[in-house]
Each structure stands twice: as structure tokens, then as C-alpha cells.
Amino acid sequence: MKNEQFNSVWDAIEDTPEEAENMKLRSALMSALKEHITSKGLSQAQTAKLFGITQPRVSDLMRGKINLFGIDALVNMVAAAGLHVEMRISSAA
């Protein structure tokens, strides 16, 4: 058995580098949203209204169900929350 080291859990569990990068972005967006919701003390109902989504969808977000969210939907929620997304692209290590 070979011991491999990875820069991210997503690098370790996803099948391709493309899938890993997608999951890293989605994970970062979800984390920022969850932190914002928690720091503002918003209920799931308040969050749903703010984001223009259903309360069960907010529940999925808060429980980290990453496979239920695409990058577009998460970026839309970030904007609805009054947050700004900045992106940095660098060469792969």
C-alpha cells in the first residue's frame, strides 16, 4: 500500500482534478454562507426569504449537503446575502 499525501480532502476522494476543483469551490462557498447565516443569527425561514429559496433548501445548505448545490446556485445565494466573491487562479502544484 502506497501512502499518498494530498493538498485537500477533495484531491483525495474525487476521481479527477476537475471534480476536485469544483468541490473545493462549492465547499468554500457553502462555508462562507453558513458562517454568514450563523454570524447574523438568521433563522432558516429568514435565510430562505433572503436567498429566495425554500427552508428545506436552507436546511440542506446548513447540513453541508454539497452534492445538492451547484456553483451557480451558491454564487446567487452569496450575492443575495450581500457578500462578494473574489477568485484567484494559480498554477497547479
Each domain of the chain, given as residue ranges in start order, spans 17-76
Predicted TM-score (pTM) of this structure: 0.84
77, 53 contact by CB (below 8 A) = yes
CATH number for domain 17-76, candidates 3.50.50.60, 3.40.630.30, 1.10.260.40, 1.10.3720.10: 1.10.260.40
Q: Residue 57 above 90 pLDDT? A: yes
Per-residue pLDDT of 58-83, as tens digits, reads 999 999 999 999 999 999 999 999 99
Of the candidates 63, 86, 60, which has an alpha carbon nearest to the alpha carbon of residue 73?
60
CA–centroid distance for 6 within its chain: 20
Q: Supply the angle between the helices 44-51 and 55-62 in degrees, to the nearest 10.
A: 110
Q: What is the pLDDT of residue 18?
A: 83
